[in-house]
Structure 1
């Protein structure tokens, strides 16, 4: 299955590329950034970016979660702050409302369906 093109802002791209050089476990994120369309102009409001709040459904389990996608230092899963370096965090980056993503997580392959994205600012 061919992956849909993802969109990343220039600002997020620069921060995340730097993170890839300094943090362990960033190979999947680097792969995603390498295939991203980088926008110097505003990214559409329904695209998942760093600091987006979003709701998604894990199609395998049916569970619906609401999280904020954050940099690793701000990560706190109890508060709903999901690290960009987590398998699901990396998977969600750059996709938009209505997209379904096939992704490998530690428990096996799953599909994530993005239900809603909120970007403030």
Structure 2
């Protein structure tokens, strides 16, 4: 099945490309960035970007989660801060509200339905 194109801001792309070169376990993120449409201007508030807060449903388990997608140094799952390098974090990057993402996670293949996205605070997005 062909995957939907993802959208990534130039700012996020530059940061994530650098992260990929310096982090073990970033192969999936590298693959996602290779197929991304990179936008130099503003990206829609509906698109999951670094520091976005989003709510999604795991269609396999029915669990609904609210997380903020962050760089690895800021991750803290107890506080709802999900690393971009985690399998689910990488899966959600660049998709929009309403999208359903097919992805392989440690527990097996799942579908993640993005219910809502709140954009990153302005100071974090710069």
Under TM normalisation by the shorter chain, which class is it?
A: over 0.9
**Structure 1 position 74, deviation (Å):** 0.1
What's the counterpart of residue 31 of structure 1?
31
Structure 2's unaligned 5+ residue stretches are none
Structure 1's unaligned 5+ residue stretches are none
Alignment of 1:25-64 (within 5 A): 25-64=25-64
What's the counterpart of residue 88 of structure 2?
88
Structure 2 CA distance, aligned partners of 1:3 and 1:13? Answer: 19
Structure 2 CA distance, aligned partners of 1:112 and 1:5? Answer: 16
The SS at the match of 1:31 is: helix
Alignment of 1:88-107 (within 5 A): 88-107=88-107
**Structure 1 position 46, deviation (Å):** 0.3
Structure 2 CA distance, aligned partners of 1:34 and 1:17? Answer: 10
Structure 2 CA distance, aligned partners of 1:5 and 1:18? Answer: 21
- Runs (4+) of structure 1 exceeding 6 A deviation are none
Structure 2 CA distance, aligned partners of 1:28 and 1:5? Answer: 15
Question: Deviation string for 1:51-98 (max 9, x for gaps)?
Answer: 000000000000000000000000000000000000000000000000
TM-score, with structure 2 as normaliser: 0.95
The SS at the match of 1:62 is: coil
TM-score, with structure 1 as normaliser: 0.99
Aligned CA RMSD, in angstroms, stands at 0.4
